[in-house]
Amino acid sequence: MAINILVIDDDRKMAERLMRGLQRADKENVLGEIQVDDSVIKLETVENYDISHFETTFDIALIDYQLSSSFTGILVSAWIALYLQNPPKYDQYSKYREYLRKATDFSCAYCTISESESPGATFNIDHFRPQKEFPSLEASCENLRYTCPRCNSYKRSRWIQRTAGCIRDCKTCTTHVCKENIPRFIDTLKELPSEHIFLNEDDMLCAYSGSNPANYTIKYLRLNRAQLVKLRHTRRFMDSWLDDLLKKRELAANRLSELEMQKQDFLSKETSCNESKTDLHADMLKTMYEMVTTLAEQTVLMINEEIHKLNILMEKHSGSDEE
């Protein structure tokens, strides 16, 4: 069954580019229709958003602040949502490894670094709620996270302490969802990291004022370690590079279209105006149009080639290091 996605974002081009990246990663062909709606701008409009005017039934809706969340990353968060709708059932958590790899697009569920961006590293399966605190969740898929070795070692069996101000007893909690504003890890499957964390201009993750979960998560997972900041720099550079190329291609394509129209207009008028111009003059103008049009075509082709190369580079930075 195909998964249909609705993206609500006023930056249509950015949203469409991110969705193309998601489609490239769709090796299992589970994606169905993807639509981008750029008519919504204000948050209060989003809250009253009416999805009924679409003929398509959407399984997932992604809003602009989710797309800009560099904490989870669009591919990671989207793939988690896609795959964890109908997880398999295993009696041992280790058997979920391949499933979790695909569910997170071969990336760490905490810091988003991919296998390809950390070659040679052996990724692990982490129990979001530690086994010693929640033995009944040892083989529960919703409690498992595919993580890079560094995040896994930093998190270890750290968990909420009663002294931190939690009003519940985690061992007897049946909801397995904690949204208390206490020092704890953000659960990216149950809440939006972008409600707690934002990315500043220096590619450092920062906590919104008063968010104890954000401060705790950033501190103990060391989400601003040098490796990740450099990675965000690289990702931002490639995103900006691609945006620039797409804008240049649009301008070049528009210019080519204009030249084609001018050329056709000239050719259609050439015969009727031929008596006022010499054949040599007409031939010179025709040759000029052909040269300029050819140059514009070559420009579009060169930009397309650069976009193709950059897409390959971006794909090499994502996914499995076994491919």
Neighbours of 269 (CB within 10 A): 10
| Closest by Cα among 50, 222, 80, 246 to 152 | 222
Q: Which runs of consecutive H residues, i.e. helices, occur in 84-211?
A: 97-103, 149-155
Share of the chain above pLDDT 70, in %: 76
Rounded to the nearest 5°, which phi and psi values hold at 62?
-110, 125
User: Rounded to an integer, what distance in angstroms lies between the CA atom of residue 172 and that of residue 127?
Assistant: 17
- If pLDDT is split at 50, 70 and 90, which confidence band does 71 have? very low
User: How would you label 271-307 residue by residue, b for 16+ Cβ within 10 Å and e otherwise?
Assistant: eeeeeeeeeeebeeeeeebeeebeebeebbeebeebb
| Closest by Cα among 66, 172, 152, 166 to 109 | 152
Task: Kindly tell me if the per-residue pLDDT of 270 is higher than 60.
Answer: yes
Q: Do 156 and 181 contact (CB within 8 A), yes or no?
A: no
User: Rounded to an integer, what distance in angstroms lies between the CA atom of residue 236 and that of residue 73?
Assistant: 12
For the chain, give the mean pLDDT. Answer: 79
Over residues 155-194, the pLDDT tens digits come to 998 887 666 556 566 666 665 667 788 888 988 777 777 7
* Number of residues that this document lists for the chain: 323
Neighbours of 55 (CB within 10 A): 6
Which pLDDT does position 221 carry in this prediction? 95
- The mean-pLDDT minimum among 49-63, 89-103, 263-277, 300-314 falls in 263-277
- The mean-pLDDT minimum among 13-22, 256-265, 295-304 falls in 13-22
Q: Which of 61-70, 170-179, 253-262 has the highest mean pLDDT?
A: 253-262
Share of the chain above pLDDT 90, in %: 18
Over residues 110-156, the pLDDT tens digits come to 988 989 888 888 999 999 989 888 888 899 988 999 999 999 999 99
Task: Kindly tell me if the per-residue pLDDT of 53 is higher than 70.
Answer: yes
Task: Kindly tell me if the per-residue pLDDT of 69 is higher than 50.
Answer: no
Collect all residues with Cβ–Cβ distance below 8 Å to 278 and sequence separation of at least 6.
none
Which tokens is 36 given? 């981008």
